Structure formats: structure tokens, C-alpha cells
Structure 1
Amino acid sequence: MTATTAHPLLDRARRLASDLLIPEAERVDQEGVPASHVEAVKRSGLLGAGAPVAYGGSGAPVDVVRRIAEVLAGACCATWFVQTQHHTPVQTLVQSELPVRERLLGQLSRGELLSGVAYAHLRSYPRVPVRVRREGGGWRFDGTVPWYTGWGLNDVMLLAGTTDAGEVLFAFAEAREQPGLRASQPMRLAALTAARTVSLELAGLWLPEEAVALRTPYERWAPGDRARTLNAGPALFGVAEAALSLLDAEAAAPLRARLADVRGRAYALADDPAPLEHVAERLAVRAQAYEVLRTATTAAVVAGGGRSMALTSRAQRLAREALFLLVQGQTAESRAAHLRSLTGA
């Protein structure tokens, strides 16, 4: 047994999956992630998996954190997607030297608060969907956040915008309607409607200086964000593994071997100390991982026959979740590479 498979946090993730997430997944898919699921994740300690021990986290190795993500995504992708937003604010605070670190990092690391994120719109730069201007002793946010997941479940959010000087500014806000912040109705999506995704309209939302976690030129922030979008993420391996569990051993064996191969190569690239090297290889492996995911979930639907068309079918849910993962975290660069792999161009 390896250190990864024996880790106590991974044991907790597996128990949470088997006792709660998997039995409830089809109901959650139709009705939405309940607050009770969020409370169970908070109690499990998994929100602090990669957080520093000094602040109440577990400081688990990256391979353990990835395996936890696989387990949660394969069990209930909507619950995984809500809680996975939390880990970016934690890591942002770990790297911050601003006062908000001491105010929030402990509460986030211990799972006392759940945080969402509202920053993917920064990838459209130089277009500026959310503009930030200094006002009084703080910052004013105006614009539209197209996607915000976990509305009604998160306690706080890490909100980002761009200043007129070309800086990105990240600050924490309470995840609720307030003066200057209004949420849309939850979006009806082909998959993961359950994750409670909305758009946010910002019209003079004011946050104090002490809410700021990061302020830096866009050109300094963007390479790190780009690096995160080049590699295949653990959720797709978790959903693929869940789909293969619905096949008999003979049918699953060749696909499981392909999955293990591409997972190993993807994680080796993710662990490379030069995250912006081997870009073509990273994108190629990412596309190969999506192909295994598509094949695995399609095979599960085929094996289920007509039953797979029922909304209570696990195979059908996993297939829709696979569609979602095709575009989650997508950038123009990753989209172009994936399309080339599909078309042979």
C-alpha cells in the first residue's frame, strides 16, 4: 500500500463518498447540492487538505490532494465543484502578506468557512468585465461576473477585477446580496445545475482595503494562471474511474490501463518544476485524458442500455458531467489544442 492510498484524509474522502455522496448523487443532480453536504465536507477536514498545519490545515502532499479530488468528483461532481472553489482562496492567502491572511486563513483552513471564487473573467483581458477603482479607504467594483458557483452555500467569495493601471486585484467579500452586488437566478445547465451557479452584477460594490488579498500587474499574475489550465485535472480521472466501475471487468480492463497511463503522464507533467515548459505535450496529454473520459462515460451509457436515458441513471449523469469537464477551466489556448486533437488539423 502506497503512502497516497493509506493517507487518513483519503480514507475520510472515501467514507464521505460511500456513505453520503454516491447514494445521494442522482437526487442532488436534480435538486441541488444541499447545505447538509457542505456541512459534511466542512466536518471532514477536507477543505484544509492542502492548507498549512500552522493555520489548522493538514498540509497534505499534492498527490493526496489530487486523489481526494478524484474521489469526490467521481462520487458527486456537483459537490466536488462547489468545494473545489475553496482551495484557490486558501492558496491565495498562503501566498499573501496582507492583513486579510491572518483574519481568514485559519477559518478557511479549518473548514469553518467555505469560500467561492469569482475570477475566471480575468482570462478575457484586455477586455475588462469587472473594473476596480479606488474609492475612499477601499475599492469599488463594477461590472459582471459571468459565472459564480456555490451561491447560497458559500460563506465568502474571493472576487477579482482589473484596475485602470492594468493590475488585478483580489479581495474577499461576503457571499450574499448586498449594496452593489446582485445575483441572477441560478442557471439551468446541461450538467451541474446542482452546483448553484449564478452571474453577479456589481454596481458600486465597495470593499475595504483590509479585504484585499492580492494586487499585482496582470502580466505577473497571468503566467501562473495559465500554468493551471495546461494540465489535465484530477476531476476528470475521478469521473472516468466512476464510469469504469459500471462496466464488467473484461470491458473495463483496457480502458483502465489507458486511464492509468494518461493519469501518470499528466501528473508527472503537473509536478514538473517548470510549469510553463513542455506546453505542447501538456495540452496533448490533456486532450488524451478527455478522450479516455469520453470513451469511459460513453461505454457506461452503452452498457446501461435504455436505462441510461433515465435521469436516475448514474451512467447518464456521469456522461453529462464529462461534458461539463470538457469546458471547465477552458482557455482559448486549451480549446484550440483540444479542437486540433479532435479534428486532426
Structure 2
Amino acid sequence: MMCAAAAAVEALFAPDPRVAEHPAVRSAARIAADVLFPHAVAADDPARGVDPAHPALLARHGLLSVRIPVAEGGHGADERVDAETVELTSGACGATWFVTTQHRFPQALSRGPLPGLAPEAITLGPAAERHRAGLAAASTAAGIAIAHIRRPGPPAVRAEPRGSGWTFSGMADWCTGWGLIDVVMIAATTPDDRFVLALLPASERPGLRAGAPLPLAVMGGTRTVALEMDGLEIDADDVLATLDVPAWRAHDTARTANTSPASLGLLRRLLGALAELGTAKDRPAAVELAMTLAERAAHLRSVAYALLTVPVAERVPERTAVRAEVTELTVRTANALIAARSGSALLLTSPEQRWAREAAFHLIQAQTAGVRTAQLTAFGRP
């Protein structure tokens, strides 16, 4: 049973009844508590990893399709309901959340122009229509291999014209969920400065080879691999979209300024755990700190969610600063929890060391140069 201090922390984060009673939120809360949280240690472990049944369970309950219309297999909910389900799943098991969040971009892209991206900057390909229904209902699980397109310098993956299709060559360093996903979206740069996004079966084929799972310090069970392409032939029918590079980069910089509900979900979990631990160990300083940090976190959360309603290209510096404050506060809270627990927090059987590693992960997930600068500024404040 939750102690009074932890209940007081959770009350600061409790959504309004419209959100709390939504079927998607009720399902997420139940699955997070009964399925994901008990498996989180195993999901983080490379030797065991994310249970394939868990992403499938989330998909069956529409939790990968919260904002998709009901007629297409989703809940037809708004952004606030969606954010609450993400907070619950991320706070319960970061590895499972990270595998399933890969699905969001291909799903959104298959449905048409992205909010805030000029329509002339994107052209949908045949794969968008072919996979739209499966991605919408998450009966087709998607992953992505596109992180390399954020990096400056020469393209990591190049696309050369081949008849009506393309040939991809290069290395995509990050693809999460290999072996857990059905299709993978791979990005390559064309000679005329466009990105081609291909949606392919997530399996090796001539010209496509997956490396061994990367030795990650956190979320090691997410089956994250590098994909090597050597003359990988892409048929025209496998093109999900083509994007104008300068327009996409401007859009991506603005989009990634937003605070991730997943970061807030972990922060919410940490604050509750700090209050619970302080009560159980009779460490009132820990309880007091939990309440102080929770009040700040709840305020930042309200600001972050209000900013989600702002057009994606507006108030970017403000949104970036809030994201930086949230991730800095998450790291600080994780370390406070280790201090409150003392030496046993470093045992692999204790969740504190895993939560501290997950907090570090949220610093670098979808990190741009602007986000990094804001984070360093946040860490430098007294």
C-alpha cells in the first residue's frame, strides 16, 4: 500500500478525471503495474530483454494507437491522454517503452503531412498507403533506423537512383527492437539533398545485415543493433516518403524541443520512490526533498504540456529550456534516491541504479545541439 508521502507526491501528478478515467489510461495503468514493472529488471538485462509479449499486449489494448481514430483501431484520444499513457509505461519499464515508441514516427508519417512541416517538403510513397492500416492499429510493429540523419557531416547512408527505386549503402548505427518489430524504416540521403525513407521487413536480406546487439549501459534488452547496407535494393513500392533535407532539419529541431512524457514518467516514478524510501527508512530529509522536488516537477510538467499545444515552430527556446530542466531534475532525483538508499542502491537487484541509468538515457534521447546546450546550462545553475 502506498505511504502517505508517496500518495502526496502522486496527487501532484494526478490527471483530471477525464484523463484518469479514459479507457486507454486505465489499461495503461493496469498493464504498467501488473506486467511491465515486475519485468523491468529482466527487460533491462541483455541476457533476457524485453518480452515480445509485452509490446504485443500494449498494441492489443490500443496503447500504440492512442490518438488514432477508433474506426482504425485506436482510441481516438487527445494528446493529454496519450501523454498520460506514455508516462505510465515509461515509469514502469523504460526498455519496453523505448521499443514501442519507435512505432510512432512511421505510424504518423504513413498518415500524411506532419504537423508543422510544410506539405511541399514531404512526398508520401506507395508504402504509406500499403502499411497505413497495419501501422494505425499497430498490428504491424515498426522500428526506425534514422538517428544518423541528425548528425552533421557526410551522410552515413546514401541513396543512389536505381530505375524507379534506389540503392542504399552505408551504416545506420541505431535500430531498436530488432527481432521484436515487423518492419523497419531506414533513412538515406539522395544526391539532390533529400531523405528517402524506406519501409522494409525487419529481417536480413541481400545488402542488409544486422550487427550484434549493442553493449548498452542502459536498456540493454531493447535489442538495439546497427544496420549495415551494401547495395541494398529498394523498390519504389517500399518508399514510405521523401523529405526535403533543410525543411526536415528545421522541423526536427523544433519538434525535439518538446519535453518527452516518457521523461516525466520516469521522474514521477523516482519522486514516489524517494518519498516511499524516506518513510520506510525513517529518513525525513528524503521525504522533505521528495515533496520539494515533486512540486517543482509538477509545475514543469504543467508548463511542458501547455507548450505541447503551441504550433511546433513557435516558442522553441522556451520549450527547449523546459525539456532541459526536466531532464536535469530527473538526473538529480535519481541521484538523490541513490544517496537516500545508500550502498545497496548499487546492487543490480535494486532499481535505483537502473533508474539512474535511465535518467542519463533521457538526456541523450533525440538530443539536438540546441537541446544539449540547454541541458548544460541547466546543469550549471546553482
Bin the TM-score by the shorter chain.
over 0.9
User: Match for residue 294 of structure 1?
Assistant: 331
Asked whether the equivalents of residues 142 and 181 of structure 2 are also in contact (C-alpha less than 8 Å), the reply is: yes
Offset of residue 40 of structure 1: 1.8
User: Match for residue 172 of structure 1?
Assistant: 199
Asked whether the equivalents of residues 17 and 71 of structure 1 are also in contact (C-alpha less than 8 Å), the reply is: yes
User: Match for residue 267 of structure 1?
Assistant: 305
Percent identity between matched residues is 39
Q: CA RMSD in A?
A: 1.7
Offset of residue 84 of structure 1: 0.3
* Residues 61-72 of structure 1: pairs in structure 2 closer than 5 A: 61-72=78-89
Separation in structure 2 between the aligned mates of residue 123 and residue 175 of structure 1, nearest angstrom: 22
User: Match for residue 317 of structure 1?
Assistant: 354
The one-letter code of the counterpart of 1:92 is L
User: Match for residue 280 of structure 1?
Assistant: 317
Offset of residue 141 of structure 1: 0.8
User: Match for residue 294 of structure 2?
Assistant: 256
Separation in structure 2 between the aligned mates of residue 191 and residue 198 of structure 1, nearest angstrom: 14
Unmatched runs of 5 consecutive residues or more in structure 2:
1-15, 114-123, 277-286
SS at match of 2:205: coil
Asked whether the equivalents of residues 128 and 241 of structure 2 are also in contact (C-alpha less than 8 Å), the reply is: no
SS at match of 2:64: helix
SS at match of 1:232: coil
Offset of residue 32 of structure 1: 1.0
Asked whether the equivalents of residues 52 and 58 of structure 1 are also in contact (C-alpha less than 8 Å), the reply is: yes
User: Match for residue 341 of structure 1?
Assistant: 378
User: Once the two structures are superposed, what CA deviation does each residue of 1:170-217 show, in whole Å capped at 9, x if it has no partner?
Assistant: 110111111111111101111111111111101111121111121132
Structure 1 runs (4+) greater than 4 angstroms displaced: none
Offset of residue 89 of structure 1: 0.5
Offset of residue 136 of structure 1: 2.5
The one-letter code of the counterpart of 1:4 is V
User: Once the two structures are superposed, what CA deviation does each residue of 1:237-274 show, in whole Å capped at 9, x if it has no partner?
Assistant: 1011111121236332211111110111112222212x
Asked whether the equivalents of residues 47 and 108 of structure 1 are also in contact (C-alpha less than 8 Å), the reply is: no
SS at match of 2:342: helix
User: Match for residue 158 of structure 1?
Assistant: 185
User: Match for residue 124 of structure 1?
Assistant: 151
Q: From 116, 139, 152, give the equivalent of 1:112.
A: 139
User: Match for residue 51 of structure 1?
Assistant: 68
Asked whether the equivalents of residues 90 and 266 of structure 2 are also in contact (C-alpha less than 8 Å), the reply is: yes
Q: From 85, 100, 108, give the equivalent of 2:102.
A: 85
Tell me, yes or no, if structure 1 residue 20 matches structure 2 residue 20: no
SS at match of 1:131: strand
Separation in structure 2 between the aligned mates of residue 334 and residue 105 of structure 1, nearest angstrom: 32
User: Match for residue 5 of structure 1?
Assistant: 20
* Number of residue pairs matched by the alignment: 344
Asked whether the equivalents of residues 62 and 73 of structure 2 are also in contact (C-alpha less than 8 Å), the reply is: no
User: Match for residue 272 of structure 2?
Assistant: 245
SS at match of 2:75: coil
SS at match of 1:154: coil
Separation in structure 2 between the aligned mates of residue 55 and residue 248 of structure 1, nearest angstrom: 42
Structure 1 length normalisation: TM-score?
Answer: 0.95
Unmatched runs of 5 consecutive residues or more in structure 1:
none
Asked whether the equivalents of residues 116 and 158 of structure 1 are also in contact (C-alpha less than 8 Å), the reply is: yes
Which deviates more, 314-323 or 242-251? 242-251
User: Once the two structures are superposed, what CA deviation does each residue of 1:116-165 show, in whole Å capped at 9, x if it has no partner?
Assistant: 01112111245211111121231111111011111111110111111000
Separation in structure 1 between the aligned mates of residue 263 and residue 168 of structure 2, nearest angstrom: 34
Offset of residue 52 of structure 1: 3.5
The one-letter code of the counterpart of 2:376 is L
Separation in structure 2 between the aligned mates of residue 85 and residue 98 of structure 1, nearest angstrom: 20
User: Once the two structures are superposed, what CA deviation does each residue of 1:65-102 show, in whole Å capped at 9, x if it has no partner?
Assistant: 11111111100000000000001111000116543233
Offset of residue 344 of structure 1: 5.2
Which deviates more, 112-121 or 54-63? 54-63
Separation in structure 2 between the aligned mates of residue 298 and residue 167 of structure 1, nearest angstrom: 43
Asked whether the equivalents of residues 328 and 378 of structure 2 are also in contact (C-alpha less than 8 Å), the reply is: no
Asked whether the equivalents of residues 117 and 159 of structure 1 are also in contact (C-alpha less than 8 Å), the reply is: yes
* Residues 212-227 of structure 1: pairs in structure 2 closer than 5 A: 212-227=239-254
Separation in structure 2 between the aligned mates of residue 166 and residue 179 of structure 1, nearest angstrom: 26
Separation in structure 2 between the aligned mates of residue 50 and residue 176 of structure 1, nearest angstrom: 29
User: Match for residue 280 of structure 2?
Assistant: none
User: Match for residue 5 of structure 2?
Assistant: none
The one-letter code of the counterpart of 1:188 is P
